[in-house]
Structure 1
């Protein structure tokens, strides 16, 4: 894969962000933007144990998609304190995904402010994500194709991004938001997945307190190099095409996929995975011709 390092700045003004990154839809890492937040000095795994230790949290791993899996349905549940014990004890594939701060631990909102980047952030959807060493998310894009501001806390996290223009090389699964689940984006097998060599994207490693801007609809793969967690704030897609795609994904695509899972079962999942390979191969061969 052709991965360029995501540009980094120490801090940035609203005007510079809009001009250099939002309007051209390019990612950026802002290294020292939240040092005045209480969260910068307070948020680590032990603090989360203190404020949310008794909460039951949804857990996800990297098992293959099954037709009986509901949309964003967790694979297991555990008390936060027990989950943090697990993170600190040994590597685990279990991750917390889309954990709503306002709903679960409202006091955490006292530790941060909504930044002014010239975009209207959805204040009801601050989400937390946790992971153990070497756990990762499948390469995916968000169903609403939102602009994402991703703040990382404790440890280090690897991030790989691709714009939607590269979808033709990524073995995208049809009627879905993910690429073929067998691909290891941290160490791809180009013999098995040759189209990836033509994909142009971005990479970076996030450290505590750093902010990654992910533009509208960007594919993203996240791997926890060490145990840690992140918070995402989001703003709805502004590009009319992306906004239409977001409505389509939520209203049509998700419903259609759910119906086909019920009708065809695992055959539907297997067909989609086969199509991901076949369609990508056709795209690549067509480009060569």
Structure 2
């Protein structure tokens, strides 16, 4: 029987939360190869601690081509991400936004709460368009403990910053910010026990969660929103570029621009936010994960713009 050959790899490709299309092996003290992580299985923080103490990781020779493809993408991403900076501090504008969103999610069909949310968007735009705005001031505004309300504010901040970086005019930014701020409004109609659950959802619970984009769209109509850009961002922010998203299984540029922008920012904030059952990923690791493992789900061109925005 022909023996399996193993080739050494760069262990720096491993980050918490990532999964690979090839299995990883380690060499035991008695010179035996042991499978450390099978392909498709995510690496945990404990795995990362163990890997840091190991000199060499290996792949099977027949999977080396998959590793080389992944490694080239990894190197390209390292070059793009090397200048990303981090800073997380709350601010007055965030506190105001949080209060407004609490009211809005408690009474999502009240017109005065919706009007207040538009004021929040205008405050954010004024900050982002100011002469002294930097990516650091964006990170100053955002907080990273995950709740539906804070998540909605964060996504709006990231979306507005990305839209501004892309050269959108203030009127378009206002529409984008409104759509992003309201993108999860439909969750106000979902059982709170599902929304706040610690850990993985059951199939039934996930089926319920998947209703929130359509519920949010209907709430938008009840609030009198007529702008299709705003409504499309709410309704389609969970569509995926490969057509496997929901609710309409739109594909590629069939997905409206606002929805693609909000989708990128939605995933980024979810990865970089703390929850009771997981630690937050760094900005660097989150974007790297999105770049390497989610390129069939998100608009990669928009993700590349986000990377440049952070530099």
TM bin (shorter chain): under 0.3
How does the TM-score come out when normalised to structure 2?
0.24
Which structure shows the higher strand fraction?
A: 1
Which structure shows the higher helix fraction?
A: 2
How does the TM-score come out when normalised to structure 1?
0.26
Higher RCO structure (Cα 8 Å, ≥6 apart):
1
